[in-house]
Chain A
Amino acid sequence: MSALSSRLFEREVIVCVGAGGVGKTTVAATVALQAALSGKRAIVLTIDPARRLANALGLAELGNQATRVELPDAPGELWAMMLDLKRSWDEFITRTVSTEHRDAILRNRFYQTLSSSLAGSQEYIATEKLYELHSSGRWEVLVLDTPPTQNALDFLDAPRRILDFLGNKPLRRLLAPALVAGRFGLRLFQMGGKAILEGLSRLTGIETLEELARFLVEIQPTYDAFKERAAKVRELLASDRAAFLLVTTAHGTPVEEAISFHRMLVEAKTNVAAVIANRVHVDHLGELSLPSPEELADELLREGVPDSGQPALSERLARTLREMRALASLDARNLERLAASVHPTPQVRVPRFPADVYDLAALRMVADHLFSRS
């Protein structure tokens, strides 16, 4: 099994992607920690750290604040930031939209969709924030932990969706003249798409149509700024200054997702540094055969350990080993499929620890498995 080398930190931007709950946040924090230990000024942008991990990183409730994590033995620096996605959107709008339009946009219901529930909006603003921090030049290595998506592919799709949302020309053409002319409701039905608009208004009500028209008109002057910015973000992520780490567990569904996500990343010509299989069940027996309760009973006798209890200790031990092997071999089969599908991208495995990973000591343990000691 391979491991990551500190050459990874020649990249300025490292993005951890994968399905929800697989360990993206854990891996992102570990990678930033290791970067700091190898002498870099590093920051991890986390989205949804477990509370105890957030505490361990010294992250207060306050979002979007870079916080230094004290690491007395590190030649570099470790920083962390908890991303507040809604606030990042508001800040982004405030930065890019002229003051006269700003408040109306922030109040518009369609801006609420854009900034919270629209598919891809979280991914978009997370990469946007990454770009902003990267441009500041304060850090040498930036590690981005991505939001949990329903579909891992949302991440690559995000900028396109957002731009579609903002730049939908036919829709704008249809609605804008009506709005500009005022008396929206009346005008609407005198226009070309009468039947369509009538049908639509029966589905959703006329007020909704009006509000959307208003939003599209208001956001218009900033569309180009959005587009330019999205292009730059995409350029950075596709360049050799960036690397992706694809995180998964060894479970069936996440492995399937990782395989298809890997294909998309490769097709998008991004640089996938490694596929990380996290929480892999290990078989402590290794190559040894599974012992029967009788065999264990004999060994207990030889070691002078009483085979007591109900059921007997030997039986409970045999059962525990059997369960361990079943979990490990199921994982191994899934990981073989993964390895074959993502070849030649290196695959790195991190074992499943008996307890959650929520402090710096545990992150160091993860680092020992992720990075080679050389």
Chain B
Amino acid sequence: MSRLARRLHVVIGKGGVGKTTVSAALGLQLSRAGRRVLVAEVRVQQIPRLLGAEGRGYEIVRIADRLEAISLDPKEAMREYALMRLHSKLLVRSLLENRVVTAFLGFIPSLPELVMLGKLLHCVRTGEWDTVIFDAPATGHGLTFLGVPQALRDAVPPGALRSEADWMQEILVDSTATAVELVTLPEELAVNETLELAEKAGQGLGLPLGRVLLNRHVPLRFSDEELKRLEVGIASEKLAAASRAAREHEIRARRSRHFEERLRSSLSLPLVTLPMLHPERAFGRAEIEALAERIEAAS
């Protein structure tokens, strides 16, 4: 467990692969293992709802023992950043309510990402939590996020923004503090993107990589021989439907295995498979619990 628990886990991947789901499960698992955990998401508030709690604006939401969630918002983060710089609520308010100023700030490359990342890493620094989990935006935007400090260091002369970038980068590249968790699916597109992502985050941005989490993994269940026997001359309607379902299941299962092997051989990172689940109602707390247990068992 401790080998895999860092102060910051960045959960990243293509849209829809299960980043939010994995962030919630990881949060649950680590909090149960005794760590004080904060899960952070950007602009939305899905984590509390997934775990059966209610989100409240930009305040920190308590979800369970030692488990809290926060939603990062660019405006709110900007306000906090400005307050830190200017030390005057009055000045900050008059600045940020000014149309010209907001327009101007809106044009600065990646400023929203910088202030939100700043807020996130501030949470890592305070020591109020042992672990912060970041449910990052989808691939491209997620990389932009993580690349902001480096981009600023390259582009901006020493000064206010530059010193922000410096301390942030220090945490991000520290392999004892940070782990980038790559969430993916047993699909061509998702796996290719994961390999690119690993390259860009690892070699490109110098971030320490954690695990690969292969989500919606389908286990092998039927042998070729069984499928063949079920194929020929089945009269029963139900058995015919079962035969079709079994064949489709097995195509998916073999693709799961194929992509699992491909990920293992292309990336020398620990790989955790998370099973495809089939909730009767909506995907919710029970499913997150099952995935948390799976992560715990693999840790």
A residues adjacent to B (C-beta < 8 A):
19-22, 50-52, 109-110, 112-113, 117-118, 148, 150, 164-165, 168, 170-171, 174, 193, 195-196, 199-200, 202-205, 207-209, 212, 249, 251-254, 284-286, 288, 291, 295-296, 299-300, 302-303, 305-306, 309, 313, 316-318, 320-324, 326-327, 329-330, 354-356, 358
Q: How far is the CA of A109 from the CA of B157 in the complex (A)?
A: 14
Closest chain-A Cβ to B217's Cβ sits at a distance in Å of 13
Q: Give every chain A residue within 8 A of B204 (Cβ-Cβ).
A: none
0 or 1 for each of B100-115: is its CB under 8 Å from A? (1 = yes):
1101111111110000
Chain B residues within 8 Å of A22, by CB = 16
Is B188 within 8 A of A300, CB to CB? no
Q: Which residues of A contact B101 (CB under 8 A)?
A: 196, 199-200
Q: Check if A150 sits within 8 Å of B230, measured CB to CB.
A: no
Determine if A296 and B278 form an interchain contact, defined as CB atoms under 8 angstroms apart.
Answer: no
Main secondary structure of the interface of A (DSSP, over half): helix
CB distance from B297 to the nearest CB of A (A): 21
Q: Is the CB of A330 within 8 A of B236?
A: no
The answer on a CB contact under 8 Å between B109 and A51 is no
In the complex, A126→B239 CA distance in Å? Answer: 49
Asked whether any CB of chain A lies closer than 8 Å to the CB of B211, the reply is: no
Instruction: Determine which residue in B99, B101, B247 has the highest number of CB atoms from chain A within 10 A of its CB, and name it.
Output: B101
Q: Which of A21, A171, A317, A322 contacts B16 (CB 8 A)?
A: A21
Given contacts A199-B86, A327-B278, contact A317 B242 (CB under 8 A): yes
**B27 at interface, CB cutoff 8 A:** no
Which residues in window 145-184 of B have CB below 8 A to A?
155-157, 159-161
A150 touches B137 (CB 8 A): yes
Subset of 10 A-B contacts with CB under 8 Å: A110-B107, A113-B107, A150-B141, A199-B101, A205-B159, A207-B156, A249-B16, A285-B238, A288-B237, A320-B249
Q: Point out the residues of chain A lying under 8 angstroms from B252, CB to CB.
A: 354
Q: Which of B180-218 contact A (CB under 8 A)?
A: 187-189, 192
Q: What A residues does B242 contact at CB under 8 A? A: 291, 296, 317-318, 320-321
Whether B248 sits at the interface, judged by CB under 8 Å, is yes
Q: In the docked arrangement, what's the CA distance between A316 and B222, Å?
A: 8
What range describes how many residues of B lie at the interface? 35 or more
Are A109 and B221 in touch, CB under 8 angstroms?
no
- Looking at the complex, which of B51-59, B260-268, B279-287 is the stretch in contact with chain A? B279-287
In the complex, which of the residues B43, B91, B222, B281 contacts A199, with contact meaning CB atoms closer than 8 Å?
A: B91
With A20-B15, A170-B103, A330-B281 given, name 14 new contacts (CB 8 A). A20-B138, A21-B15, A22-B16, A171-B103, A196-B101, A199-B91, A202-B160, A251-B16, A252-B283, A285-B241, A306-B229, A317-B242, A326-B280, A330-B279
Residue B234 at the A interface, CB < 8 A?
yes
Alpha-carbon gap, A249 to B179, bound state (A): 31
Interface residue B95 (Cβ < 8 Å from any Cβ of A)? yes
Min CB distance, A251 to chain B, in Å?
8
* Closest chain A CB from B106 CB (angstroms): 8
Residues of chain B within 8 A of A209, CB atoms compared: 104
Distance from A329 Cβ to chain B, minimum over Cβ atoms (Å): 8
Q: Distance (Å) between the CB of A216 and the closest chain B CB?
A: 9
The distance from the CB of B94 to the nearest CB of chain A, in whole angstroms, is 8
Contacts of A164 in B (CB 8 A): 103
Question: B85: CB under 8 A from chain A?
Answer: yes
Contact with A along B265-281 (1 / 0, CB 8 A): 00000000000001111
Closest 10 CB pairs of A and B: A20-B15, A354-B251, A284-B241, A326-B278, A21-B16, A323-B278, A317-B242, A50-B189, A113-B109, A205-B159
* Residue on A nearest B92 in the bound complex, by CB: A199
A330 touches B107 (CB 8 A): no
